[in-house]
Amino acid sequence: MSPAAYPSPQRVAQLRENLSAVRARIAAAAHACGRDPGQLTLIVVTKFFPAADVRALADLGELDLGENRDQEASEKFRQVRRDARYAALRLHFIGQVQTNKAASVAAYADAVHSVDRIKLARALNRGAAAAGRVLPVLVQVDLAEPKPSGGPDDHGDGMRGGVRPDQLAGLVEQLRAEPNLTLRGVMAVAPLSADPNAAFARLADLAAQVSAVAPEANWISAGMSSDLEAAVRHGATHLRVGTAILGTRPTLR
**Any contact of residue 68 with ligand PLP (CB under 6 A)?**
yes
Q: Which of residues 111-170 bind ligand PLP (CB under 6 A)?
A: none
Determine the Cα–Cα distance for residues 139 and 196; give it in Å rounded to an integer.
19
**Any contact of residue 95 with ligand PLP (CB under 6 A)?**
yes
Give the nearest residue (CB) to ligand PLP. 242
- Tell me the helices (H) and strands (E) count for the chain, helix number first: 9, 8
Determine the Cα–Cα distance for residues 65 and 90; give it in Å rounded to an integer.
6
Find all residues with CB under 8 Å of 96, minimum gap 6, and list them. Answer: 68, 114, 116, 161
**Any contact of residue 92 with ligand PLP (CB under 6 A)?**
no
Q: Which of residues 206-225 bind ligand PLP (CB under 6 A)?
A: 224-225
Find all residues with CB under 8 Å of 22, minimum gap 6, and list them. Answer: 42, 225, 228, 241, 244, 245
**Any contact of residue 188 with ligand PLP (CB under 6 A)?**
no
Determine the Cα–Cα distance for residues 135 and 125; give it in Å rounded to an integer.
8
- Closest to ligand PLP by CB, 194 vs 244, is 244
- Closest to ligand PLP by CB, 126 vs 164, is 164
- Closest to ligand PLP by CB, 15 vs 189, is 189
Residues contributing to the site for ligand PLP (CB under 6 A): 45, 47, 68, 94-95, 189, 224-226, 240-244
